[in-house]
Amino acid sequence: MSAEPEAVIARDEGAYFRRTLLRWYRFSARHFPWRETDDPYLILLSEVLLQRTQAPQVKDNYKTIAAALPTPSALAKAPLAAIEEALGPLGLAKRAVTLKRMGEELVARHEGGVPSGVSDLMSLPGVGRYIAAATAVFAAGSRVAVVDANVIRVLSRFFGVSSDKKRPRDDPMVWRLAQSLLPRSRAADYNWALIDFAALVCRARAPLCAECPLRRRCRAAPQFLRTP
């Protein structure tokens, strides 16, 4: 992306994208236990578990893990073996050391609470920009964009934009574009809508373009809808 978001996306096009996506989400949202809590720690924990792990798999084990490690203090005090056992069903035992350090940092530096700012969240062990942004918006209600490869795929296909970086998710322009598209309110719903839409409709392989509510103005739809 060589131009600023405002030069790439027309205002009415961004408004159409937001409006249509939120309308779709109203009837098609996925339901997960971490979306039903307002506990910042449990939301942060879920985002750490979801990193490179399928949401349905995390869903099957989330309540057990949350019960074993219910608070930052419990996480910090838990024996490493107990954390490894809790994470075992997800194949994430290797994250136990980092997760325990995160709990210790939350207790030592944040009095057992979870910071609300992206920068403070990113200073925690094992927390990168995506997890920090997701926690800030879903736990603290911040107006922050959540960007990963799946979100980038949707934006790239619909708006016809692409990054010239080797790792687009690290491209500041991608994050500015995503931020420019956020609605003034309902940032959490919008981000969840984008995540669910990428998983259910605008899939990496065999996207469901014929069923897509955005297909009328999507740049990529013609190539996927073209008959062989």
Express each pLDDT in 68-101 by its tens digit. 999 999 999 999 999 999 999 999 999 999 999 9
Q: Would the pTM of this model clear 0.85, i.e. be above it?
A: yes
The DSSP-derived string for 150-176 is HHHHHHHHHH-----SSSGGG-HHHHH
Each residue of 155-168: pLDDT tens digit?
A: 999 999 888 888 88
Q: At 122, which amino acid appears? A: M
Domains defined along the chain, listed by start: 5-30+144-225 (1.10.1670.10), 33-140 (1.10.340.30)
CB 178 within 8 A of CB 160: no
Query: For position 226, what pLDDT does the model report?
Result: 72
Distance CA 172, CA 183 (A): 20
- Going by the DSSP 8-state scheme, the letter that residue 91 receives in this structure is T
What 3-state DSSP class applies to 131? helix
Intervals of the chain under pLDDT 70: 1-8, 227-228
